[in-house]
Amino acid sequence: MKLPPPLRNSTVLLALLYLGVRGIRLGPTLSAFLSPGVVKVLVDKFDIKPISTVEADIAAIMQGK
């Protein structure tokens, strides 16, 4: 069974979180199931970050942020 892209992306995100991966950068848009409350938990507990510009993201990654 082939999953549609939004569901596939959500499945990958949930699998990474289950495995303990932190500091994931998401974007440019967030999945529809991510309400403001869910986003707050993901940011607080799993260090999820939204993407911005390529330059800003690379600079943050190089600084270990």
Helix (H) or strand (E) holding 55: helix 54-62
pLDDT tens across the length of the chain (65 residues): 676 666 677 788 889 999 999 988 888 777 777 788 888 888 899 988 888 889 998 998 899 88
pLDDT at residue 62 in the model: 92
Per-residue b or e along 39-58, where b marks 16 or more CB atoms closer than 10 Å to that residue's CB:
eeebeeebebbeeeeeeebe
pTM, full prediction: 0.66
